[in-house]
Chains A and B, each alone.
Chain A
Amino acid sequence: MIDRLSTVLVLGLGNDILGDDAVGLLAARELKILFHDKVDVVEAAVSGFEIMEILEGYESVLLLDAVVTKAHPPGYILELSKEQFKNVVAISPHYMGLPEVFQLAEEMKIKFPKIIRILAMEIIPPYDIKEGLSEPIQESFPQFVETGSAILSELLAGKC
């Protein structure tokens, strides 16, 4: 499905006309410029099975997304491990969230990335259709990209 040129994938998730929900996509675009010939970059507004199809076959992945935990202020950057998702106490209201994707891939013995690094930024749940990021998200955005860049460097150096 995806023409794989690298074993390392950057996957930006979000919707580019839903305000802050686009932060993962925009960060992926920045990283594509910085690492254009070293990693594959995919932008997607999907969940569930489609994410499984995108991740399949890669060795390592940096996943960029927005998150709503309500435990942090907007703009707060979190790095999450795949293991942390096993502690999510309820199934995602989306039909198949990332924890289920990971578990299903494991059970189905699908060739899945051994290393999955997840970088997320806390946002306020967006309900208005609009382009552009809000002020707190814009302020944190350079740090978000910088952190993503550092993680990618580690992934490419095989330090993870």
Chain B
Amino acid sequence: MKQIKIDPITRLEGHGKIDIFLNDDGEVANTYFQIPELRGFEQFCVGRPVEEMPRITTRICGVCPEAHHMASAKACDAVFHVEIPPTAKKLRELLYNVFYAGDHTTHFYALGGPDFVVGPDAPKAQRNILGVVAKVGLEVGGKVIEMRRRTQEVIKILGGKNTHQVTSLPGGVSKGINEEERKLIEEHCKWFVDFGKFTIQVFNDIVLKNKAYVDLILSDMFSMKIYSMGLVDEKNRVNFYDGKVRVVDPDGKEFVKYSPNDYLDVVSEHVEPWTYLKFPFLKKVGWKGFVEGKDSGIYRATPLSRLNAADGMPTPAAQEEYDRMYKTLGGKPVHATLATHWARTIELLSAAEMALDLVRDPEITGTNIRAIPTATPTEGVGIVEAPRGTLTHHYITDEKGILRKANLIVGTTNNYAPISLSINKAARGLIKKGTTVTDGILNTVEMAFRAYDPCFGCATHTLPGQMPLVVNIRNKDGEIIQEIKRN
């Protein structure tokens, strides 16, 4: 059996490895997506006061600390049996939507976008933000940097710090905003909405007007008919911060809608011997292996699945684009993995519109921002939609609020099985008997998982050393018969 190894995966936060095993006929026999993920976080937290969790959990990930901060704060609210004041909820939501808009910007322009903007066959060194700027111009690059800068400024005002936010506490937030800050944030939010519309236009011009790209999006090798998961509000519209988790089946019919406290009734985790990371699946359907369909418990939790699981968007411009996407792609649900990029741009716009609505809410400058917990702490679950999937924090404490047990299902983990399946499908679609495995082919395989915006290992920020991308092709005895270095 021959083996093709893609290691490390480019533009992935954290480190991963894809192994593609070929049989003696040169066809893909199997694929494995292995993650050397961080270990021991839950155990690290045990014995600490639970109110420290919103600050500690931001350190899990350098990419989405806001998501962990919010899920953790919500779990703490539940542990202390406290309902937070409306102003506090709106301040948290405002911060979270601004973060969402910024995070999706990074993915679209720096991670996933280069695959389309520069093209999957472009040289390796060009498939990044520099390539995007070279292709679409300095003006666009400037807008992206401006967007990031502005979102960071708002997050610092609301969250106390850019990266490791400290604002959310059990029962509310530690700091409100005054009218002067509100006006400043409102100006930024107006800019975010314009940027969201601009990004939709960029996607339209560069991706949708290119027939080859549309064909790739709709191709069978990038399609996967499985369940879709996402948080929805009381009207079943997409909500990133709060609500119930809704799951629809591959035909788009509601399968379950559950409150955070009930997550263990819905989701279970499968273990494979070749990886430390577990594979979440829908308990009532069951684990049937890496297969598609209604009988397989595999589900996705991505921008596309959030749109599939909802009946619509909470804001007007995003709703318009939501309708256009489904009309263009043949109706709900959409199972084209690469359409996740389109869904992400719709979410970016929605987050910007939502942030503008919130900052214009008369309650946003209110001073009642925290309900002091008085009940004995016990157990609580907090769920938000991280940009890369439904994020669940579950804490159990003693009567003094000391953490006895913690369980986290992070966004990307939900998607571990579908990512593995997507890679497998793409590899089988591209690598046939006699195929010369080129850089472009391997990048197209990588596109299958980049659409998910995965973030596994999170957080090592070591300087880049000598990290060539090496592709090893091995014979059936494991000996390297060809080595390709990308540089």
- Beyond A46-B163, A127-B36, whether A94 also contacts B464 by CB under 8 A is yes
- Beyond A17-B56, A45-B163, whether A93 also contacts B459 by CB under 8 A is no
- Please state if A95 and B111 are interface contacts (CB–CB under 8 Å): yes
Q: Which residues of B contact A93 (CB under 8 A)?
A: 8-12, 14-15, 467
Category for how many chain B residues contact A: 35 or more
Q: Is B145 an interface residue (CB 8 A)?
A: yes
Q: Is B278 an interface residue (CB 8 A)?
A: no
Q: Is B466 an interface residue (CB 8 A)?
A: yes
- Beyond A108-B133, A128-B40, whether A65 also contacts B461 by CB under 8 A is yes
Q: How far is the CB of B165 from chain A (nearest CB, A)?
A: 12
Q: Is A118 an interface residue (CB 8 A)?
A: yes
Q: How far is the CB of B44 from chain A (nearest CB, A)?
A: 4
- Please state if B133 and A15 are interface contacts (CB–CB under 8 Å): no
Q: Is B106 an interface residue (CB 8 A)?
A: yes
Category for how many chain A residues contact B: 35 or more
A118 partner, pick from B36, B463, B466, beta carbons under 8 A = B463
A53 partner, pick from B15, B149, B461, beta carbons under 8 A = B149
Measured CA separation A9–B411 after assembly (Å)? 35
Q: Which residues of B contact A159 (CB under 8 A)?
A: none
Measured CA separation A91–B138 after assembly (Å)? 21
Q: Is B298 an interface residue (CB 8 A)?
A: no
Q: Which residues of A contact B163 (CB under 8 A)?
A: 44-46, 50
Stretch at the interface among B123-131, B353-361, B376-384: B123-131
Residues on B lying within 8 angstroms of A by beta carbon are 8-15, 36-41, 43-44, 56, 59, 62, 106, 110-111, 124-125, 127-130, 133, 138, 141-142, 145, 148-149, 152-153, 156, 162-164, 457, 459-469, 485-487
User: Lowest 10 A-B CB distances belong to which pairs?
Assistant: A69-B465, A89-B487, A92-B464, A93-B8, A97-B464, A67-B463, A49-B148, A129-B44, A129-B40, A66-B462
Residues on A lying within 8 angstroms of B by beta carbon are 1, 13-18, 21, 44-50, 52-53, 65-71, 80, 85, 88-100, 103-104, 107-108, 110, 118, 120, 123, 125-130
* 5 A-B pairs with C-beta separation under 8 A: A15-B62, A85-B464, A90-B467, A125-B462, A129-B41
